[in-house]
A and B are shown apart, each in its own frame.
Chain A
């Protein structure tokens, strides 16, 4: 593991040259996998994440079926080679929790009542990790769900915000995540302003918290535009052959 840089922020400039409220470069591509019903690939700073959606399909085992609506399964999985020290494959406590809150972050927009007894399965693979993997995963999963033709009220956009060297910063990089004072992943339905994921590790004053929340809102708005564009682009590409 690398050592803590002496300063995370120098005169308002972060290690990767960004200002406090700037996001990393993000590239989103919808419909990248063949077998899946919907899929999405994101490169977000140093993160590389694939999301696939299968379904609605019959829920297994049967006792999981809900006669009124579809159930959602969400599996967040980090590849063993995605981080510096090899991660032992398979679910650990962190990924179990992330899978749960991510599923709950997407649930508010999914119109599950159209597909009773079925299951909508979302698989998120973190191929390369550089802080903010759960929010990158949710952002990708949201696009993959739309790509799969699942009825939804809107897209969910997500980003992380936190505090490093005493400053509130948007879209943390690994060093800020490791050595900073707080990490707060947020997911939102950007157009309505509703929050669907909110977690915070670390320590923030109320003033910092409010500032962070507003940074996150701004960030989600930018992410939403990119998600939208990825889907429009996928369609346009299919027309221009």
Chain B
């Protein structure tokens, strides 16, 4: 995810630890760092949540607007997900339009939510063809210590469960209504480090690895998104075990919502 350059000795150290079944911070291969979810912290947003996974810190805010539907889906609302890797989060983040990492991050979160049908887009339609709710999910990375995707996906989901649609403000209803959430897709990411799979990689581990796999799973265990990242390759036979672990770990993360 990051272009930080890891020193050779640090890389060797990380490899050595993992080869010996150990890990920075003494975690097990499939153990997450401490995860905290704090909802409703931005009063002006329709919904918000701040998620910390270890030292990684992500804030997601939801804004809703009335707008026109896409011409090919006149009876459906719109979700737009955007991620900003703001420069306060890491010395390697720069100002300017989102780079490919930011774009990928936002799209992976977005596809997980869409794939699971967590939000019923039809329910966001106010007047077919002319008036629908447009839900903006904006992700701000505040502090980058690896595994931004899981933190961002969790923050986005948490913020959505905390969202109230402002019917009164837009004069389209008598009462504001909570956004209806049908499912809770959870992204879990693992990295391959010297042939060993570790979940929730911290920044140093990400930099020591050249391959990560994010698997998004739903409450019922179905898969609603997959993304392989990095210049490495995954043996065919490893995939199903990773998916199994992802599902199990997602179950634990889901409880934090």
Interface residues of A (CB under 8 A from B): 1, 93-94, 96-97, 99-101, 103-104, 107-108, 182, 184, 188-189, 193-206, 209-210, 213, 217
Chain B facing A: main interface SS: mixed
Q: Judging by beta carbons under 8 Å apart, are A204 and B228 in contact? A: no
Determine whether the beta carbon of B227 is less than 8 Å from that of A199: yes
- For the complex with contacts A93-B98, A201-B225, 4 further pairs of A-B residues with Cβ separation under 8 Å are A104-B230, A189-B233, A202-B224, A206-B247
B236–A198 touching, CB < 8 Å: no
CA distance A94 to B240 in the complex (A): 27
Number of interface residues of B (CB under 8 A): 38
Most buried by A among B104, B237, B244: B104
Known A-B contacts A202-B224, A206-B221; A107 and B236 likewise in contact (beta carbons under 8 Å):
no
Instruction: Please state if A200 and B225 are interface contacts (CB–CB under 8 Å).
Output: yes
Question: Which residues 203-239 of B have a CB within 8 angstroms of A?
Answer: 213, 218, 221-237, 239
A217 and B236 in contact, given A97-B107, A203-B115, A209-B223 (Cβ under 8 angstroms): yes
Q: Does B243 contact A (CB under 8 A)?
A: yes
Give the chain B neighbours of A188 by CB distance below 8 A: 236
- For A97, the chain B residues whose CB sits under 8 A away are 100, 103-104, 107
Given known contacts A93-B107, A96-B100, A193 and B236 CB-to-CB distance under 8 angstroms: yes
Q: Are B226 and A199 in contact, with the CB atoms below 8 A?
A: yes
Complex partner residue of A104 from B103, B114, B228, B235, CB under 8 angstroms: B228
A97, A182, A213: most-surrounded residue (chain B CB, <10 A): A97
Q: A203-B117, A204-B223 are in contact. Are A197 and B228 (CB under 8 A)?
A: yes
A199 touches B104 (CB 8 A): no
Return the 9 tightest CB-CB contacts between A and B, nearest first: A107-B231, A200-B226, A194-B233, A193-B236, A198-B228, A108-B233, A100-B100, A1-B72, A195-B234
